[in-house]
Amino acid sequence: MNDKELTNQEIKRRFTDNNIIACVTTLMDFVLKVSVDSFQNAPFTFEDIENFYKTLYWCDECSNYMEESEYGCLTDGDECPLCGEFSIIAEEGASEIFEWWIVSPFLFQELRLEKECVIDTYFNHYWGRCCTGQALFLDSVIHSICNRNGYLVGQENEWLIR
């Protein structure tokens, strides 16, 4: 890893440190379970999760799943961008959320722009993280947000690391 990549990782680490407040996975899982069991007592439900349902594309030939954001808009019978065969099948499905995080209002709006799973309540902003097993600052969505806002090395709003 070169100096620029190391500095960008540090910028993204500080960005997440400043904008991700707390992990609340157990709490959110409980509230969402209550919302299914007794809808009236839950402060929010699965229906309140923005961007929860996404179109996934399945290639019948090479058996790969692709998200719309990766390859643009695909439809049934389109050419698979991975294998070249005309065997794409579009399926609507719910996202698999592994972790829940309370995030800053700024990060919430950025995640919403990135079509991430989010819930906006009267008291907090939640991000439903659809990956797990790595540091938050390594997520591609964090890189995308930092890049789009020009925070990375050599960009207009670069965060200076000393």
Output the CA torsion 68→69→72→74 (10° steps).
Answer: 0
What are 109's two structure tokens? 């709006």
> Is the same domain home to 7 and 87?
no
Within a domain: 159: no
Instruction: Read off the pLDDT of residues 102-149 as tens digits, 9 standing for 90 and up.
Output: 999 999 999 999 999 999 998 899 999 999 999 999 999 999 999 999
Output the pLDDT for position 78: 78
> Is the same domain home to 90 and 102?
no
Do 36 and 46 contact (CB within 8 A), yes or no? Answer: yes
CA 45/CA 43 separation, integer angstroms: 7
CA 97/CA 31 separation, integer angstroms: 14
Output the pLDDT for position 69: 54
Do 80 and 59 contact (CB within 8 A), yes or no? Answer: yes
Lay out the sheet containing 99-103: strands in order across. 20-23, 99-103, 125-129, 117-120
Q: What's the domain range around 131?
A: 3-35+43-50+97-148
CATH code, domain with 88: 2.20.28
> Is the same domain home to 84 and 116?
no
> Is the same domain home to 88 and 110?
no
Within a domain: 161: no
Within a domain: 155: no
Instruction: Read off the pLDDT of residues 29-83 as tens digits, 9 standing for 90 and up.
Output: 999 998 888 766 788 999 999 999 887 777 778 777 776 656 666 777 777 777 7
